[in-house]
Chain A
Amino acid sequence: MALIELKDVSKIYGFGDATSVALDEVSLTIEAGEFVAVMGPSGSGKSTLMNVIGMLDRPTIGTYHLGGKKVSRLSANRRAKWRRDRIGFIFQSFNLLPRLTVLDNVSLPLVYKGMSVSRRTHKAWDMLERVGLGQRAFYYPRQLSGGQAQSAAIARALVNEPQIIIADEPTGNLDTASSRLVMELLSEVHASGNTIIFVTHNPELTRYATRVVYMQDGMIVHDEQTELGKVGRYARQVMYTVPVASEDDDLAGVSAMMPVLENRGRAEGKKKSARKRKVAKKKAVKK
Chain B
Amino acid sequence: MATLRYGNFKMAYDSVRSHKGRSALTMLGIIIGVAAAVLVVCAGQGVKNEIAGRLNGFGRDVMSIQPTGNAPYLTGQDVSIVQKTGGVEEVVPLAHVSGNARGDHMVSDPMVIATTTGFPDMVNQPFMYGGFFDDDTPSVVLGANLARKLYTNTDPSGQTLTWRGQNLVVAGVYSNFNAPPFSLESDFDNSMFVSYDLTQKMSGDSLSVYEILARAGNLAEAAAKVHTNLVLAHGGADDVEVSSALSTADQSDDTIHLITMLVMVAALVALVVGGVGVMNVMLVSVTERMHEIGVRKAIGATNQQIMRQFTAEAFVLSTVGSVVGLILACAGVGLMRLYSSIQAVIVWQVLVVAPVVAIVVGVFFGSIPAVKAAHKDPIDALRGLE
A-B interaction: yes
Residues of the A chain whose Cβ atoms lie less than 8 Å from the Cβ of B379: 51, 56-57
Q: Does B14 contact A113, Cβ atoms closer than 8 Å?
A: no
The count of chain A contact residues (Cβ–Cβ below 8 Å) is: 29
Residues of the A chain whose Cβ atoms lie less than 8 Å from the Cβ of B258: none
B280: Cβ under 8 A from any A Cβ: no
Residues of the A chain whose Cβ atoms lie less than 8 Å from the Cβ of B4: 111-112, 114
B159: Cβ under 8 A from any A Cβ: no
CA of A99 to CA of B7, assembled, Å? 14
State how many angstroms separate the Cβ of A43 from the closest Cβ of chain B: 15
Q: Does B18 contact A99, Cβ atoms closer than 8 Å?
A: yes
Q: Does B292 contact A80, Cβ atoms closer than 8 Å?
A: no
Q: Which of A57, A95, A112, A116 lies in contact with B300, CB distance below 8 A? A: A112
Which one of A61-69, A82-90, A169-177, A270-278 is at the interface? Answer: A82-90
State how many angstroms separate the Cβ of B381 from the closest Cβ of chain A: 10
Interface string of A107-135 (1 = CB under 8 A from B): 01101111111000000000000000000
State how many angstroms separate the Cβ of B226 from the closest Cβ of chain A: 77
Q: Does A99 contact B15, Cβ atoms closer than 8 Å?
A: yes
Residues 304-327 of B contacting A (Cβ, < 8 Å): 304-305
Q: Does A109 contact B299, Cβ atoms closer than 8 Å?
A: yes
Q: Which of A91, A100, A112, A115 lies in contact with B14, CB distance below 8 A? A: A100
Residue of A nearest to B1 (CB): A114
CA of A51 to CA of B381, assembled, Å? 13
Residues of the A chain whose Cβ atoms lie less than 8 Å from the Cβ of B300: 80-81, 83-85, 109, 112-113, 160
Residue of B nearest to A82 (CB): B300
Q: Does A95 contact B3, Cβ atoms closer than 8 Å?
A: no
Residues of the A chain whose Cβ atoms lie less than 8 Å from the Cβ of B297: 56, 80, 83
B298: Cβ under 8 A from any A Cβ: yes
State how many angstroms separate the Cβ of B294 from the closest Cβ of chain A: 8
Q: Which of A51, A84, A97, A111 lies in contact with B295, CB distance below 8 A? A: A97
Q: Does B3 contact A117, Cβ atoms closer than 8 Å?
A: yes
Interface string of B7-38 (1 = CB under 8 A from A): 10000001100100000000000000000000
Residues of the A chain whose Cβ atoms lie less than 8 Å from the Cβ of B15: 99
State how many angstroms separate the Cβ of A52 from the closest Cβ of chain B: 10
B296: Cβ under 8 A from any A Cβ: yes
Q: Which of B18, B298, B304, B305 lies in contact with A89, CB distance below 8 A? A: B298
Interface string of A211-246 (1 = CB under 8 A from B): 000000000000000000000000000000000000
Residues 268-315 of B contacting A (Cβ, < 8 Å): 291-292, 294-305
Interface string of B108-134 (1 = CB under 8 A from A): 000000000000000000000000000
The count of chain B contact residues (Cβ–Cβ below 8 Å) is: 25
Known contacts A56-B378, A117-B6; A112 and B295 CB within 8 A of each other: no
Residues of the A chain whose Cβ atoms lie less than 8 Å from the Cβ of B296: 97, 108, 112
CA of A81 to CA of B302, assembled, Å? 7
Residues of the A chain whose Cβ atoms lie less than 8 Å from the Cβ of B298: 54, 56, 83, 89, 91, 95
Q: Which of B14, B303, B304 lies in contact with A99, CB distance below 8 A? A: B14
A261: Cβ under 8 A from any B Cβ: no
Residues of the A chain whose Cβ atoms lie less than 8 Å from the Cβ of B299: 83-84, 89, 108-109, 112, 156-157
Residue of B nearest to A100 (CB): B14
Q: Does A116 contact B303, Cβ atoms closer than 8 Å?
A: no
A77: Cβ under 8 A from any B Cβ: yes
Q: Which of A57, A80, A95, A157 lies in contact with B302, CB distance below 8 A? A: A80
A76: Cβ under 8 A from any B Cβ: yes
Residues of the A chain whose Cβ atoms lie less than 8 Å from the Cβ of B291: 95
CA of A113 to CA of B303, assembled, Å? 13
State how many angstroms separate the Cβ of B13 from the closest Cβ of chain A: 11
State how many angstroms separate the Cβ of A166 from the closest Cβ of chain B: 10
Interface string of A42-62 (1 = CB under 8 A from B): 000000000100101100000
Q: Does B18 contact A116, Cβ atoms closer than 8 Å?
A: no
Residues of the B chain whose Cβ atoms lie less than 8 Å from the Cβ of A156: 299
Q: Chain B CB within 10 Å — which of A56, A85, A157 has the most?
A: A56
State how many angstroms separate the Cβ of A140 from the closest Cβ of chain B: 11
CA of A116 to CA of B5, assembled, Å? 11
Residues 20-62 of A contacting B (Cβ, < 8 Å): 51, 54, 56-57
Sorted nearest first, the 8 A-B pairs with minimum C-beta distance are: A84-B300, A80-B302, A95-B295, A111-B7, A77-B302, A109-B299, A83-B300, A112-B301
List chain A positions with a Cβ less than 8 A from chain B. 51, 54, 56-57, 76-77, 80-81, 83-85, 89, 91, 95, 97, 99-100, 108-109, 111-117, 156-157, 160
Beyond the given A108-B296, A111-B4, A157-B299, could you list 6 further A-B residue pairs with CB under 8 A, ordered by the A residue number? A57-B378, A76-B302, A80-B302, A99-B18, A111-B3, A160-B300
A-B contact pairs, 7 of them (CB 8 A): A56-B297, A57-B378, A80-B297, A95-B291, A95-B295, A100-B14, A111-B7
